[in-house]
Every structure is written in C-alpha cells, then in structure tokens.
Amino acid sequence: MFVRIFALLGLCMALSACASVDYSKLPPGTFSGSLFVMWVDEGGSSGDGNFLFVPDPEDPLIFRRSDPQSAGAVIRPGLMYTDGGSIPKIAQVFKGLSPWGYAPAYMIHDWIFTARHCIVDGESNARFDQVRDVTFKDSAEILGEAIQGLIADERVQPNDLAGNAITTAVDSAIARRLWDERGACKALVVKPDDVAAAEAAIPGSSRAITRRSFRLPPETAPVPAERRAKIVTRVTF
C-alpha cells in the first residue's frame, strides 16, 4: 500500500488521536470477481516486495459501497504496482496485520491512491473517472468498508483492533500529505515488460492502459519466460 500503515500509525498515536473516521460505524461493502497478484521484484525497504495487481477482464475485481450514491460507489481497479499493506515485520505478529490479510481491500485503496496521484498530475484518462470525486476522507472510509465487507462475507475473522489501526493510519495528517503529493504519477507507470508479463498470464489485462496515459509502445511482445512475474495468489469472490 502506498500509505505506510504502521509508520503513520505510530506517529499518529504519539501525537494524539487524529482520525475522523469511526471504523466501527462503517457499513460493509461487497466484493465480486477475482484478485490476481504477480511478483515483480524485491521492492524497497518497506513492505514485502513489489507486486503487480492484474485485472482479469473476464472476472474483474469490483468493490461496491453500501450506498450507491456515494463517491466511489463502484470501484474496479486497473493494472498497478502494489506492495499489499506495507506492514513492517515487527507488526506482522499481531492478528489481522499481515500485509496480505486484507488484500482485496488494500487493492481498492491502492487504486484510489494511484488514481489520485495521476489526477493531481493532470491525467484525464477515463479509467480514473470512477474515483475522480473521491475525497481523502472517502478513501479511508472505503478501505474500512472494504475490510468490513471481507468480515461480513466471512473471508476474514472480525478484528476491530486491526480495522481501527488500519483506518486510523490511512486517515492521518501524514497520509493526507501523501494524498496531495504532486509528481508521483510517473513512478506508478507500469513498465512495458511487466505489462507484457501480465498480458501473458491473463490475456486482455492490459487493454485499459492507453499509450497516452502510460506511454507504452503500440504492441508489447511477451517477455522471456525467466522474466515473467510469478503468480502469488488468485482469489475469487
């Protein structure tokens, strides 16, 4: 996740309560489709490696908020880099704080931040329209609703401590500064060989990426087998 959850959480708690979202009062959203993640490389110092979320055009991961009139009511994430929940090893010993424990929810939040960074940098691509009017507070609420949805669907066990910790972190002042950061979109561009690897695994997964927004060549040939990303997990709702 682009917001480093527990680095933010520790400072947030040290400075006193700074969240405006009450996780316990958030309604559960609903998921449908499949989640498909591929390993890319070891990543940086935070998180557990660098991965690629790959949308399946035949069975796309979709999140729906309980209120169909709310901002980001229906979210369908596109091809993007992710590192899951970015939870440090020291915190992963606690129940519910695995970097992939709430993976579908993290993918939705990562997509919101990916879109936000590109929107503030002037991208007008229609693939970001579904979350264009999502506010910072909405982004934290959506993550909480997604976690509540996984609990309601009995995909994960109830855990108010983890849910509160995560939503508090992504609703902090530090997270807000990241939300408004400019110049971040360029680093989020999926590299052509990673696009090719995703396309080789799930044909049609890259069709939503345009040359205009991600500057890809007209045709992206499959990369050599030894360069293909490795499948980590695929979950179907």
More confident position, 207 or 121: 121
Length of the chain: 237
CB under 8 A, 24+ apart: contacts of 20-24: 20/137, 20/171, 21/137, 21/140, 21/141, 21/144, 21/167, 21/168, 21/171, 23/144, 23/147, 23/148, 23/160, 23/163, 23/164, 23/166, 23/167, 23/168, 24/160, 24/164
pLDDT of 98: 58
Residue type at position 40: V
Q: What is the pLDDT of residue 40?
A: 86
Classify residue 22 by burial, with Cβ atoms within 10 Å: 0-12, 13-18, 19+.
exposed
Distance CA 112, CA 119 (A): 10
* Closest listed residue to residue 84, CA positions, set 96, 72, 101: 101
| Rounded average pLDDT over 179-198 | 92
The pTM of the full predicted model, rounded to 2 decimals, is 0.81
Q: Please give the span between the terminal C-alpha atoms of the chain, in angstroms, as a whole number.
A: 21
Report which of residues 171 and 18 the model is more confident about. 171
**Burial of residue 188, with CB atoms counted within 10 A of its CB: 0-12 exposed, 13-18 middle, 19 or more buried:** middle
The whole-angstrom separation of Cα 27 and Cα 206 is 32
More confident position, 60 or 4: 60
At residue 45 the predicted structure's pLDDT band, cuts being 50, 70 and 90, is low
Q: Is the pLDDT of residue 66 over 70?
A: yes
pLDDT digits (tens, 9 = 90+) for 75-131: 999 999 998 755 555 444 445 455 567 899 999 999 999 999 999 999 888 889 999
46: pLDDT strictly greater than 60: no
What local confidence, expressed as pLDDT, does residue 119 receive? 95
pLDDT band at residue 48 using 50, 70 and 90 as cut-offs = low
Query: Which has the closest alpha carbon to 101: 43, 158, 28, 140?
Result: 158
Q: Check whether 71 has a pLDDT greater than 50.
A: yes
Question: Looking at per-residue confidence, does 44 or 118 come out higher?
Answer: 118
